[in-house]
Structure 1
Amino acid sequence: MTDFDPAAHLPDELLERIRSRAAAVDAENRFPEEDLAELRDAGYLAILVPAALGGAGLGLAEASLLQQRLAGAAPATALAVNMHLVWTGVAKVFSDRGIDGLRFVQEGAASGEVFAFGISEAGNDLVLFGSDTAAVPTADGGYAFTGTKIFTSLAPVWTQLGLHGLDTSNPDDPKMVYAFVPRTDAVITRDDWDTIGMRGTQSRTTELHGATAPPDRIVRLVPPGPNPDPIVFGIFSVFEILLASVYTGIARRALDLAVATAKARTSKKTGSAYSDDPDIRWRVAEMALAYDALPPQISALARDVDERADRGAMWFPQLSGVKHRAVVAAKQIVDEAMLVGGGSSYFARSELSRLYRDVLAGMFHPSDPESAHSTVAAAWLGPVSG
């Protein structure tokens, strides 16, 4: 990865056009269709697809750097595209390990299809280990899904929805079913996305009314509950790493804005630049100290996924940990940047104001703070006795 040039896949000119639209996308609470169209034309939807199948052939470590770069320009666009990249990343995890089942995702991404992530359900803290969505076998070997998914990013534009549901047709042997359904009349997208931040993701609620996945779109059947199946590892590893990347990108942008503001502002009291003020210098240093730890941690984990390293039982706590640290640090950094920016950063027209709202979303993605701490405690202390 030493010769990797992010600008080759996300050119400065494209990035600036995306940045120029971010404020309007947020203010108008709409999906950034122009961003997606330009990213698709640039081959960005297929960065994790092998070159032999029409993609860029990048690894997760390189995709992470690109997502940090994109998030610095438009956090909501980056977070929305993240969900598509999760599925192409899982497909890469599968193909790298000789597992069949997701080639259609790679081929679809290369041809311009958009894959959305339909896992989250209201009140379901089991996440990958359980589902309130019913998965009912069909006569042809497929499944029909009925239930409600929340936070479905890319809601207005996706062509395939990757999701899970619970098959209880055999009560003695229930199965978690992972599959993909196309957009049909059996899928209803509510127009209910009106949030504090990350408005461009348009992560609307999705109702499934017998939405059918054909047999060739049934990816995996696994027992509910924690298990080592590749679908669980694939989703968890790619999801956490790319999420951490988005919020790290926000942190870097906030740090850059704080530095620029400190150099541009002059104190009426002293006549000196704010960048010479010891309190401002301390704040910027504190931001940089928090930020500097994030990219190397993300890179190390992503590289190990790419290289099929064995972290054993520490995979899940370390993946939870890097996501948790990234969102906590990003929020801290944006908080400090707001103070460096002064009162003008409190106006809605300020980019820092938008970053302040966008960064809040990080705490609500899996693994949330409670789950991350529980996972890490179990790794170090063992399960709760009794």
Structure 2
Amino acid sequence: MEHAISGAEARQMPLDSDPSRDDRDLRARAEAVAAVAAKHADAVDRAARFPDEALAAMREQRLLGIMLPAALGGEGATLSEIVDICYRLGQACSSAAMIYAMHQACVACVLRHAHDSAWHETFLRRIAAEQMLLASSTTEGQAGGNVRSSAAPVERTAAGIQLDRAATVVSYGEQADAIITTARRSAVSAASDQVLVSFLKSDCVLKPTSGWDTLGMRGTCSSGFNLLATGSADQVLPEPYETIHKYSMVPVSHLAWAGVWAGIAAGAVERARAFVRRAARQNNGTLPPGAPHFTTATGSLQSLRGLIATSVRSFEQNADNPRVLASMDFQAKLNLTKVQASELAVGIVLDAMRACGLSGYRNDSDVSVGRHLRDVLSSPIMINNDRIMTNLATTALLTAVPPFLSE
């Protein structure tokens, strides 16, 4: 092959931008997708349908493979750029933005941990060339949101491998071109001894087991399925999922999701801004009673953006440093970023609604933030904040409090 993926190179490639690429062009492409997504956002929400138009626009603008390096047909986009796109799409259509964020987390996991796998190199090239959409399957059966536990094992067969998995949630599973799933390494392995496997759509049979009639994020179509997949042993990523989880899945997912939630919050703030301005014009410059909530929302949005930017910068600076990435302190900070970002985003949208008063509460108003609120309320329960905080409490018990501020 003309280019084999080494471990160190794969970990660093997402952070190496193509110097020939114009960042303004990337922003313009993201804006074009956002415009399409915004046009259909209400219809997607009402019908709880997949945002087909937004995905078509992503493919047209070739945004699905931009994280891949130029050697694999991509553009070497940084995580900062990916999070920026998630933010812009979040302002337009929460479901489309979340689908994009989850796809990019899958791409990062495969790219950073494929190493010298010839099968996965071909797979990555196809993602860029064909603009394939990747979905993840990490929740299963009674384990629920405990993504570090798998029940279904990878079974070795005469033809290769097989996986029969009770996947309680597979976001946009029916629309995806491939599914990246966790699994127990073997039938005799512990539940925590996991691998990550890439299955093409043609490898999978999805039997629906539950629907997706939810308060918000309705367009992600996160139904439950029984997943029966077959393939070759080469489709199992060479590194254990424990490593992938720490180095890629947690940081990229949490930071991309945070970008989406911040985008939802920003969209709500813009509606509040429009309401306050209009009310002031109609009342000879007198601000409406909810104006203080607009001020609070604006300040909180600045804090949220700063929190995410700092966390993304920290990850990018340490992305090729396994010792730092695996440390309890770094993992705790990433998890706290997820918790803080989700809680802040919910508060911002609530403040935006209160700034708009009844107009923001109504579904038939041009400044309605009802959809924004319903969508952002998913953020504390995507990898439940209570679960994260309980786990962090255990970690905190093992960590001594520094005696001085300078340490």
Q: TM-score range by the shorter chain?
A: 0.7 to 0.9
Q: What is the CA–CA distance in structure 1 between the aligned matches of 2:374 and 2:74, rounded to whole Å?
A: 34
Pick the aligned partner of 2:188 from 170, 178, 185: 170
Aligned partner of 2:222 in structure 1 is 203
Aligned partner of 1:340 in structure 2 is 355
Mapped contact 1:298–1:322 kept (Cα < 8 A) = yes
Mapped contact 2:297–2:351 kept (Cα < 8 A) = yes
Aligned-partner residue type, residue 285 of structure 1: T
User: 1:145-294 residue pairs with structure 2 within 5 A?
Assistant: 145-170=163-188, 175-184=193-202, 186-190=205-209, 192-209=211-228, 211-220=229-238, 222=240, 227=242, 229-266=243-280, 271-273=283-285, 276-277=287-288, 279-294=289-304
Q: What is the CA–CA distance in structure 2 between the aligned matches of 1:302 and 1:93, rounded to whole Å?
A: 17
Aligned partner of 1:328 in structure 2 is 343
List structure 1 runs of 4+ shifted beyond 4 angstroms.
171-174
Q: Structure 1 238/6 Cα, relative in aligned 2: closer, same or farther at 3 Å?
A: farther
Percent identical residues: 23
Aligned partner of 1:76 in structure 2 is 95
Mapped contact 1:143–1:214 kept (Cα < 8 A) = yes
**Secondary structure of the corresponding residue to residue 353 of structure 2:** helix
Q: What is the CA–CA distance in structure 2 between the aligned matches of 1:365 and 1:126, rounded to whole Å?
A: 8
Alignment: residue pair count: 369
**Secondary structure of the corresponding residue to residue 196 of structure 1:** coil
Q: Which runs of 5+ in 1 are unaligned?
A: none
Pick the aligned partner of 1:363 from 356, 366, 380: 380
Q: What is the CA–CA distance in structure 2 between the aligned matches of 1:129 and 1:297, rounded to whole Å?
A: 26
Aligned partner of 1:380 in structure 2 is 396
Q: Structure 1 365/281 Cα, relative in aligned 2: closer, same or farther at 3 Å?
A: same
Mapped contact 2:246–2:331 kept (Cα < 8 A) = no
Q: What is the CA–CA distance in structure 2 between the aligned matches of 1:21 and 1:287, rounded to whole Å?
A: 26
Q: Structure 1 135/377 Cα, relative in aligned 2: closer, same or farther at 3 Å?
A: same
Q: What is the CA–CA distance in structure 2 between the aligned matches of 1:114 and 1:374, rounded to whole Å?
A: 33
Aligned partner of 2:403 in structure 1 is none
Q: What is the CA–CA distance in structure 2 between the aligned matches of 1:214 and 1:176, rounded to whole Å?
A: 17
Q: What is the CA–CA distance in structure 2 between the aligned matches of 1:89 and 1:9, rounded to whole Å?
A: 23
Q: Following TM superposition, by how much is the alpha carbon of 1:352 offset from its aligned partner in structure 2, in angstroms?
A: 0.7
**Secondary structure of the corresponding residue to residue 76 of structure 2:** coil
Aligned-partner residue type, residue 265 of structure 1: A
Residues 303-312 or 130-139, more deviating: 303-312
TM-score (norm 1): 0.86
Q: Structure 1 154/28 Cα, relative in aligned 2: closer, same or farther at 3 Å?
A: same
Aligned partner of 1:87 in structure 2 is 106
Q: What is the CA–CA distance in structure 1 between the aligned matches of 2:225 and 2:194, rounded to whole Å?
A: 19
Aligned partner of 2:328 in structure 1 is 313
Residues 353-362 or 83-92, more deviating: 83-92
Mapped contact 1:18–1:74 kept (Cα < 8 A) = yes
Q: What is the CA–CA distance in structure 2 between the aligned matches of 1:125 and 1:208, rounded to whole Å?
A: 16
Mapped contact 2:184–2:191 kept (Cα < 8 A) = no
Q: Following TM superposition, by how much is the alpha carbon of 1:91 offset from its aligned partner in structure 2, in angstroms?
A: 3.3
Q: State the Cα RMSD in Å.
A: 2.7
Deviations 1:31-53 (CA, angstroms, capped at 9, x unpaired): 11111011111011012111222
Residues 370-379 or 144-153, more deviating: 370-379
Q: Following TM superposition, by how much is the alpha carbon of 1:105 offset from its aligned partner in structure 2, in angstroms?
A: 4.5
User: 1:348-359 residue pairs with structure 2 within 5 A?
Assistant: 348-350=363-365, 351-359=368-376
Deviations 1:144-199 (CA, angstroms, capped at 9, x unpaired): 11121133122231111100111443358984121022235632245712111111
Aligned-partner residue type, residue 156 of structure 1: E
Q: Structure 1 67/171 Cα, relative in aligned 2: closer, same or farther at 3 Å?
A: closer
Q: Following TM superposition, by how much is the alpha carbon of 1:9 offset from its aligned partner in structure 2, in angstroms?
A: 5.1
Q: Structure 1 75/6 Cα, relative in aligned 2: closer, same or farther at 3 Å?
A: farther
**Secondary structure of the corresponding residue to residue 285 of structure 1:** helix
User: 1:94-105 residue pairs with structure 2 within 5 A?
Assistant: 94=113, 99-101=115-117, 102-105=120-123
Aligned-partner residue type, residue 51 of structure 1: A
TM-score (norm 2): 0.82
Deviations 1:174-231 (CA, angstroms, capped at 9, x unpaired): 841210222356322457121111111111112123x1131221114638xxx5x245
Q: Which runs of 5+ in 2 are unaligned?
A: 1-16, 400-407
Residues 77-86 or 131-140, more deviating: 131-140
Mapped contact 2:137–2:179 kept (Cα < 8 A) = yes
User: 1:28-107 residue pairs with structure 2 within 5 A?
Assistant: 28-94=47-113, 99-101=115-117, 102-107=120-125
Mapped contact 1:152–1:205 kept (Cα < 8 A) = yes
